[in-house]
Homo-oligomer: A and B are copies of this chain.
Amino acid sequence: MVAELLAEEKDTIELAGKIARDARAAARLVAKAGAAQRERALRLVATRVREGARRILDANGADLEAARRGGTAPAMLDRLALDERRLEAAARALEEVAALPDPIGTVERIVRRPNGLRVGRMRIPLGAILIIYEARPHVTTDAFALCLRAGNAVVLRGGSEAQHTNRALGEAIAAGLDGAGLPAAAAQVVPTTDRALLEALLQHDAELDLVIPRGGEGLIRFVAERSRIPVIKHYKGVCHVYVDAAADEDMALAICDNAKTSRPAVCNAAETILVHQAIAPTFVPRLEARLRERGVTVRTDEAAFGVEFLDLVVALRVVPSIDAAIAHIERHGSDHTEAIVTRDLTAARRFVDEVNSSTVVVNASTRFADGGELGLGAEIGISTTRLHAYGPMGAEELTTTKFVVHGDGQIRT
């Protein structure tokens, strides 16, 4: 028994090592491939996803069946489920990323130094990226697409609920890569979802350059606590809307409504509304009526602040000043997205300058904190870690820059 366990552990460690080394080797080839080759691979994968629809949907059916038997909640089943429409959306998303400008090889901020050296920064891929996610199978193709567009190899470790679906999607990806002359290891779908393998992968900081965990707080903490590889985290979104004394009440009503109710289960939905006391007597009754109409429960107790409800529940607080609103956000916020509604330029300016969440919004819904909406083309996640990328991350956020120096014989004295 002990010998078997030890053998199993050894297998896990060896498998993690192989995945990591293959990713590193593939990363070199993907980086060398030109923009056109990467674009071709993305378009071929879209074609393979369409051609393989039957097999992918069958695999998804098996996952759904197993999940149903396991008593999975309906909301989770919905996240897991694919149909022809969703699969077509995944294929189209691949083509949209294929059409994005290639970020690799651009040279920025070129300066000429007094000694004649020309110094610039050239954009290069990060290398090999490990993406860890949960039930949604479309993350498999979305994450692959952005990583490849940015010249990286990717290791995709999805949730066990979606393992058959992810394997079938992985086959479509491998076929597309192969058709474009890129190695299959440029996108490896991890074959097992056991945590021991994940832990072993997280030790490979020499081969893997970045890990992005997407999902629940438990998963993210598991990764952050064990990883030797740099992690870009997105713990949660406790987004605030602050309705200033000088707000247009109708605009504030529309924004609060939209921020809370348009899609309550996502991270850029508002969880707390702060209202300046000067406007509260007229505004709060209107707000409560509107939210009631939408089926939203309003909570005003202290315990409701800082909670990510992800549901038709909102915390509401009347504050004596913009300073109190900013202090409340500093204390209870999650560095995701906060909005102010105001006609007062000074208030807007102060809010923008003093609130250092990853997205700060003036007179619009928090729901715009999204890579697509902010013009990044697509997004791989929203970082609430200040290092490397802060806020929605697109293809460019999966790259770095190197210094390139051109001289004609300069030496340092």
Contact = CB atoms under 8 A, between A and B. Distances in A.
A365 interface: yes
A298 interface: no
Interface stretch (A60-68, A92-100, A160-168, A386-394): A386-394
Interface stretch (A2-10, A280-288, A395-403): A395-403
Interface stretch (A187-195, A224-232, A313-321): A224-232
A336 to B, nearest CB: 11
B363 A386 contact: no
Contacts of A391: 401-403
Given A117-B364, A119-B374, A360-B404, A386 B251 contact: no
Give the number of copies in the complex.
Answer: 2
B410 A365 contact: yes
A312 interface: no
Interface stretch (A35-43, A45-53, A122-130, A174-182): A122-130
Contact of A411 (B365, B402, B405): B365
A410 B364 contact: yes
B373 A412 contact: yes
Most buried by B among A127, A209, A251, A403: A403
A116 to B, nearest CB: 9
A128 to B, nearest CB: 10
A361 interface: yes
A353 interface: yes
Interface string A304-347: 00000000000000000000000000100000000000000000
A124 B262 CA distance: 30
Q: For chain A, give the interface size range.
A: 35 or more
A359 interface: yes
Given A387-B230, A391-B402, A408 B363 contact: yes
B390 A402 contact: yes
Contacts of A361: 405, 407
Nearest to A410: B364
Interface string A224-256: 110010110000000000000000100100110
Contacts of A251: 408-409
A32 interface: yes
A361 B408 CA distance: 10
A219 interface: no
Contact of A409 (B28, B113, B230, B255): B255
A357 interface: yes
A277 interface: no
Interface in A107-149: 111, 113, 117, 119, 122, 124, 126-127
A72 to B, nearest CB: 29
A362 B230 contact: no
B230 A406 contact: no
Interface of A: 28, 31-32, 105, 111, 113, 117, 119, 122, 124, 126-127, 205, 209-210, 224-225, 228, 230-231, 248, 251, 254-255, 257-259, 262, 330, 348, 352-354, 356-365, 367-369, 373-375, 385-388, 390-392, 400-413
What 10 A-B pairs are tightest by C-beta distance, nearest first? A364-B407, A258-B411, A367-B412, A388-B388, A364-B410, A251-B409, A359-B403, A361-B405, A230-B387, A386-B400
